[in-house]
Amino acid sequence: MEWIAAIIIGGLIGWLASIAMKSNTGLCLNIIIGIIGSSLGRWVFGDLMGIGSAYAAGQFNVIGIFFGVLGAIILIFILRKLKLVS
- From first to last of its 86 residues, the chain has per-residue pLDDT tens of 688 988 999 999 999 999 999 998 889 999 999 999 999 998 998 888 888 887 787 788 888 899 999 999 999 999 999 999 87
Separation of alpha carbons 51 and 27, rounded Å: 30
Residue 1: what pLDDT?
A: 65
The dihedrals phi and psi of 24, each to the nearest 5 degrees, come to -105, 75
Residue 27: what pLDDT?
A: 92
Residues 6+ apart with CB under 8 A from 81: none
